[in-house]
Each structure stands twice: as C-alpha cells, then as structure tokens.
Structure 1
Amino acid sequence: MTDTAAQTEKAKLLDDVRSVLNNTEELLASAGDNGSEKARELHQKLQTNLKLAKARLLDAEKAALGRAKEAAKATDHYVHENPWKAIGIASAIAFLLGLLVSRR
C-alpha cells in the first residue's frame, strides 16, 4: 500500500470514528436521565469515556498532521537540494506507471 493510499485510509478511519462518536453522543443526549440510579451511573460513565475518546482522536489527528507536515517539508527540502534527481525519479515512476497501465 502506498503512502497516499495509507493516508487516505487513515483519514477515512478517522472520519468513521468521528462519526461513531458523534452518533453515540447524540444517542446519549436523546436517552436523557430517566431511569434508575444504575442507568444514570452508566450514562455518566459513557459520557466520560466518550469525552476521553474524542480527546484521544483529536491528539491522533494532531500527531498525524504533524507527521504529514514534516514529511512534506523533508520532501520539499530534498527536491530543492536535488532537483535533477527528483526529476529523474519522477520520470522513472511515470514511465513505469505508463508501462503498467498500457499492459492492462
């Protein structure tokens, strides 16, 4: 799997997790505080775990964004330091992709 495909899958996974968390939050809000003491304790515990999960998701997003920015800066630096190598590598990749596509 290429880095771009992996990043796309990670982004989709983060979106899915965010959606599940939002749906859970809506479900908890609609459930209200009706019920027994045990139900209220469970409701409170779910809210606490939901807040924790959201915080961890936010931290994961920030870390992923930071790594992506570092990779982009490193790539930019490499291309500026070695423009002809970068052109050669890009040409070779384009040629190989062209061969693969033309065979299918």
Structure 2
Amino acid sequence: MEQTVQQGNGAVNGNMAQSQANSHEAREKLMNDLKLVIGDAESWLKEAKRNAANNAGEAQARFDDTLRTAKSDLLRLQDSMTARGKLAAQSADSYVKGHAWQAVGLGAAVGVIAGLLLARR
C-alpha cells in the first residue's frame, strides 16, 4: 500500500512540476504583454498628441484591443495560479493522509523552532 502511495505522490510531483513550468511561461507571457501594452500606450499617446483628433479614435481602438488582450492573459494566469494552489493542497492532503505521524512530527518541530525564535526576541 505504501508503494502505491509513493507512486501516487510521484505522479502528483510530476504534475506540480508541469504546472510550475506552465505558470512560469504564463507569467513571462503576461509580463511581455504588459510591457507591450505600456509601450503601445506611450506611442499612441504621442501619436494622438501629434494628430490631435484625426487618429485619436483609431489609437484608442488599438489601445482598447491590446488592453483587452492583457486582461484576458491576466485572468488566465489567475486561473493557472488557482489551479496550482489546489494541486498543492491536494498533494499536501494526500501526503498527510499517507504519512500522518511524520506530518505530526514535522508540525511539532516547526512549532518548537518558531517558539524558540520568538522567545529569543
């Protein structure tokens, strides 16, 4: 039975690594998109100042489109991070169920260390 739990934990750890890679890629894409939005906004504002009313509507439409894309990327990143958090919680839950006494010992050790650190201050 313990071997089955360990195999299950290996699959969860593999999923967590993949999830971390995906969230890192999503963060990088979001940061690049936000930099692009800021750069576009600056250039469109300069262009709008030069052309006053002629191209202001077109510049605003392009800016709105880019902003909408950045918002959707941010929502996807939020969903990814939420899913990653749920996966971590499930992994911790399965570990604690499989290794209850080890989890209790770890919790007690963390409590003692935290108590010692707080007592020193």
Structure 2 residue 60 is the aligned partner of structure 1 residue 43: yes
Q: Say which structure, 1 or 2, has more relative contact order (CA 8 Å, 6+ apart).
A: 2
Match of 1:58 among 67, 75, 86: 75
Q: 1:45 offset after TM fit, Å?
A: 1.0
**Structure with bigger gyration radius:** 2
With normalisation by structure 2, the TM-score equals 0.56
Quick one: distance in 1 between partners of 2:90 and 2:53?
Answer: 56
Quick one: distance in 1 between partners of 2:69 and 2:82?
Answer: 20
Quick one: distance in 1 between partners of 2:71 and 2:54?
Answer: 26
Structure 2 residue 96 is the aligned partner of structure 1 residue 102: no
- For the residue of structure 2 that corresponds to 1:37, the secondary structure is coil
Q: Which aligned segments of 4 or more residues in structure 1 are displaced greater than 2 angstroms?
A: none
Q: 1:59 offset after TM fit, Å?
A: 0.3
CA offsets per residue over residues 40-98 of structure 1, 9 Å max, x none? 11100110011001100100000000100000000000000000000000000010000
What residue identity is the alignment partner of 1:94? G
With normalisation by structure 1, the TM-score equals 0.65
RMSD: 1.5
Quick one: distance in 2 between partners of 1:48 and 1:71?
Answer: 35
Q: Which residues of structure 2 form unaligned runs of 5+?
A: 1-51
